[in-house]
């Protein structure tokens, strides 16, 4: 791989347009992590019903299902609980239908994650357990609630959770917050420290580079990211500042983006159809300056060859 297909002056031009602010507000993309029992026909499950409802209100949402992202080839690298922690970290909202032994385990993992996810965790519990004194209700559910999670009750046995006005109102509230330009939920920190790269911001930065330089190879994308950021290497950290598990890999992030439809990967070449949907986050351009920059980059690629 020729890491200097883009000359020093082109890299310098990109660096000159790096955003100077430490934080920016981003209303797109938004990731909704849906957790629930295993399924044969997804559309008839509680997760499928709430996804259809939210998509009918906003078709730009990215719905994350662990089953669709988990790859058996990951087994040697990462356990499923750590993988779900990664998905929870990148997601803006986690909706957990507490309805099966597997979801009880997820509930325990999220509720004991040092308050890391509870501010964006919504637990949907069957209405019949509203006054229950069971271990689940007085243990992990209560702990999650005390740490900031929301508890919503709905009928979960008949595949019609939206029979609960409480759940419908909560879903609509989520959608309104997503659209709010100044919602605290939409505030993102721009990555400037190689020892503390936040994954949710990293995703926005990758998408922006892809939009500017596509088509681009997997390897060249990460190399260009490091050159623009002046990173020789970097470490992923959680939103609480703690270092993320070293098992989390760049490939998992690409898998996420591909699975939810934000990017396409063919023969290791990445493209996106999201022109106009990704706002400037890492870079700051005015007017048509961004398009001119992209034209310069593309012209250089075709003049000198290479994957980007």
Report the CATH number that the domain containing residue 96 is assigned in CATH.
3.40.50
62 within some domain = yes
The answer to whether position 174 is within a domain reads yes
d(CA 261, CA 50): 19
Provide the domain count of the chain: 2
Same domain (yes/no): 178, 198: no
What pLDDT is recorded for position 164? 95
Q: Which of 162, 185, 208 is the last residue of a domain?
A: 185
Residue 231 lies in a domain: yes
Confidence at residue 303, expressed as pLDDT on a 0 to 100 scale: 57
The pLDDT profile of the chain, 308 residues, written as one tens digit per residue, is 444 556 777 888 889 889 989 999 888 899 999 999 988 899 999 999 999 999 999 988 999 999 888 876 666 678 888 888 889 999 999 999 999 988 998 998 888 776 778 889 999 999 999 999 999 999 999 999 998 999 999 999 988 999 999 999 999 999 999 988 777 778 899 999 999 999 999 999 999 999 888 899 999 999 999 999 999 999 998 888 888 867 788 989 999 999 999 999 999 999 998 765 666 889 988 767 777 877 777 776 655 554 43
Q: Is residue 3 part of a domain?
A: no
Both 214 and 108 in one domain: the answer is no
Range of the domain at 246: 8-17+190-304
| Distance from chain centroid for Cα 133 | 35
Which among 185, 210, 236 is the end of a domain?
185
Question: Do residues 95 and 157 both lie within one domain?
Answer: yes
Same domain, 85 and 202: no
Q: Does residue 22 sit within a domain?
A: no
Closest C-alpha among 232, 193, 186 to residue 92? 186
Instruction: Classify each residue of 161-173 as buried b or exposed e, where b means 16 or more C-beta atoms within 10 Å of its C-beta.
Output: bbebeebbebbee
Residue 165 shares a structural domain with residue 125: yes
Same domain as 129, residue 254: no
| Residue 219, domain member (yes or no) | yes
Q: Please indicate, yes or no, if residue 276 is contained in any of the structural domains.
A: yes
Which two tokens mark 138?
């007085």
């Amino acid at each position: 791989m020729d890491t200097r297909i883009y000359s020093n002056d082109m890299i310098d031009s990109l660096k000159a347009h790096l955003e100077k602010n430490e934080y920016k507000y981003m209303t797109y993309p938004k990731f909704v992590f849906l957790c629930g029992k295993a399924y044969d026909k997804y559309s008839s499950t509680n997760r499928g019903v709430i996804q259809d409802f939210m998509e009918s209100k906003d078709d730009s949402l990215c719905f994350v299902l662990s089953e669709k992202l988990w790859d058996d080839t990951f087994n040697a690298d990462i356990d499923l609980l750590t993988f779900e922690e990664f998905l929870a970290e990148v997601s803006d909202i986690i909706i957990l239908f507490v309805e099966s032994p597997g979801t009880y385990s997820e509930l325990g993992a999220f509720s004991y994650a040092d308050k890391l996810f509870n501010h964006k965790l919504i637990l949907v519990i069957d209405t019949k357990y509203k006054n229950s004194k069971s271990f689940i209700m007085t243990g992990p559910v209560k702990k999650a609630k005390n740490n900031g999670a929301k508890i919503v009750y709905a009928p979960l046995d008949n595949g019609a959770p939206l029979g609960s006005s409480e759940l419908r109102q909560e879903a609509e509230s989520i959608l309104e917050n997503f659209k709010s330009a100044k919602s605290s939920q939409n505030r993102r920190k721009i990555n400037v420290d190689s020892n503390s790269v936040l994954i949710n911001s990293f995703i926005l930065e990758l998408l922006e580079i892809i939009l500017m330089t596509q088509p681009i190879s997997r390897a060249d994308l990460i190399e260009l990211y490091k050159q623009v950021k002046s990173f020789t290497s970097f470490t992923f950290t959680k939103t609480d500042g703690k270092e993320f598990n070293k098992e989390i890999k760049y490939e998992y992030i690409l898998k996420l983006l591909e699975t939810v439809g934000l990017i396409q990967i063919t023969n290791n070449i990445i493209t996106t159809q999201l022109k106009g949907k990704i706002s400037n986050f890492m870079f700051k351009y005015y007017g048509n300056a961004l398009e001119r920059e992209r034209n310069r980059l593309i012209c250089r690629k075709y003049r000198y060859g290479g994957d980007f």
